[in-house]
Amino acid sequence: MKRLFDVVVSAVGLLLLAPVGLLIALAIKLADGGPVLYGQIRVGQFGKPFRIWKFRSMVRDADKLGLPLTPEADGRITPLGVFLRRFKLDELPQLWNVLVGEMSFVGPRPEVPRYVEQYKHEQRDILRYKPGITDVASMLFRNEQALLEGSSNVEEFYLRYCLPKKIELNREYAGRASVAQDLWIILQTLCPYWLGVLAAYTGALVFSLGAAYFLRFDFRVMGPVGREFLGYVPWIVGSQLILLVWRGQLRGLISYVGPAELNQTALALTLALLFQLGLLWFSGGRLAPRLNILLLDFMLSCAALGGLRLGARRLRERFSEPSIAPQPQGRKRRIAIIGAGELGTRVARHFLADEHSVGCVVGFFDDDPRAWNKSPYGIPVVGMPECLLNKEWRSQIDEVIIALPPEAAARARELAVMLGEAPVKVSFTSALPAPATTEI
């Protein structure tokens, strides 16, 4: 079933995306006159080498000018290549690799031979599986270029910290691989988290406008009233979504919400209401419904979005472990928190909620790749704690707070030793023993 899915979907994809591929090829050719495609030898299933194909996103002969790895500020990436990489358009030619059986849609990303040679004995069993265009590790390491940024030795950092986590994730996937699992991974790859939030907000806002019409017309919304409702949806819901995006309501996780986030939601919907009132006055009712419906919709929209976020927060808190909420103290400082779980996010929430706090949380760092690329309370989860060893981050923080649960005390002490030579203060939350450091 997996191979049948790969053949059918890759063949259809090559046909449907051919016009897009031709446009990309033309753009690459016009940019610098170099080759359109780039082929690189990778290690495939059972250790058999094959040539993986991509649209060229780097300067000509880039493989002779540096490492196979590409940090975020790599000067070999062309301006067009930055765009192609951001939207993964450079990967489209790999549909051919899938069609001929060298790759699958979902499977461990193939590595170059020089890195496969570094595999430990127990890691080499990952070569039993056919490599893929995407996998769990690819989703979680989607910002790998940023993880490598600032490292004094990019290759050593990748081999020591990134590659083992990728292999571990792929071995977990291999133990439960199925067509349904593959479809879910493909969907997550194509549809980022913010798109799901946008869909949830859109549904809630359309529901609120519909509820306003139901209440105004005593639940009789058939015929002309129903057509009026559908005609106003783009103007009303569209303006609300635009202003919600402007106020940063698609950033972060909807389950992390407090007074600040609710205030921003209310502000966005208030500005949308003022815009809708302007449409009502300017168009004489052609572009916006009557005043009582607008006011009902405003109240219901605030309730719907607030209820959506608070409900998600309630579910998260119900299924997360209780922890001790620490109190921030001290002088003005830029803070990084190790641990993006319940304990770490509570630390961040106290800094955000305290108007007199002189600390500023600039980022989370977590051992679990599944937490990466998310933004609790709008604060990004940057990557693994070892990223703090890179000079890029050492120059941006004044203090590291280790906020791990009690069962991870050994890991917390290991991190404290690791960061001991860094020019930053290292603190523990009060939930962990920290005899040699300052508690908060």
Q: How many domains does the chain have?
A: 3
Does residue 403 fall inside a structural domain?
Answer: yes
Q: Are 431 and 415 in contact (CB under 8 A)?
A: no
The verdict on 182 and 200 lying in the same domain is no
pTM over 0.85: no
Does residue 405 fall inside a structural domain?
Answer: yes
The verdict on 186 and 197 lying in the same domain is no
**What φ, ψ does residue 53 adopt, rounded to 5°?**
-110, 140
The verdict on 129 and 179 lying in the same domain is yes
Does residue 328 fall inside a structural domain?
Answer: no
The verdict on 89 and 178 lying in the same domain is yes
Q: Are 356 and 422 in contact (CB under 8 A)?
A: no
The verdict on 176 and 229 lying in the same domain is no
Task: Single out the residue in 319, 352, 379 at which a domain terminates.
Answer: 319
User: pLDDT per residue over 19-70, tens digit each?
Assistant: 999 999 999 999 988 899 999 999 999 999 999 999 999 998 888 888 888 7
Q: Which of 4-8, 31-35, 88-92, 139-143 has the lowest mean pLDDT?
A: 139-143
Supply the pLDDT for residue 332: 63
Does residue 407 fall inside a structural domain?
Answer: yes
What 38-43 contacts at long range (C-beta under 8 Å, 24+ apart), as own/partner pairs, is 40/68, 40/112, 41/112, 41/113, 42/110, 42/111, 42/112, 42/113, 42/131, 43/110, 43/111, 43/112, 43/113, 43/116, 43/127
Supply the pLDDT for residue 94: 96
The verdict on 171 and 222 lying in the same domain is no
| Residue 388: CATH number of its domain | 3.40.50.720
User: pLDDT per residue over 117-169, tens digit each?
Assistant: 989 888 899 999 999 999 888 888 877 777 777 677 888 888 888 888 899 88
The verdict on 43 and 174 lying in the same domain is yes
User: pLDDT per residue over 179-216, tens digit each?
Assistant: 788 888 888 888 777 788 899 999 999 999 999 999 98
Instruction: Residue 268: give the domain boundaries.
Output: 193-319
Would you give the distance in Å from CA 134 to the centre of its chain? 15
- Does residue 433 register a pLDDT over 70? no
Does residue 411 fall inside a structural domain?
Answer: yes
Would you give the distance in Å from CA 365 to the centre of its chain? 14
The verdict on 263 and 298 lying in the same domain is yes
Does residue 439 fall inside a structural domain?
Answer: no
Supply the pLDDT for residue 354: 72
The verdict on 12 and 90 lying in the same domain is yes
Task: Single out the residue in 190, 217, 233 at which a domain terminates.
Answer: 190
The verdict on 252 and 145 lying in the same domain is no
The verdict on 83 and 143 lying in the same domain is yes
Task: Single out the residue in 146, 171, 190 at which a domain terminates.
Answer: 190
User: pLDDT per residue over 303-328, tens digit each?
Assistant: 999 999 999 888 877 765 444 334 34
The verdict on 169 and 266 lying in the same domain is no
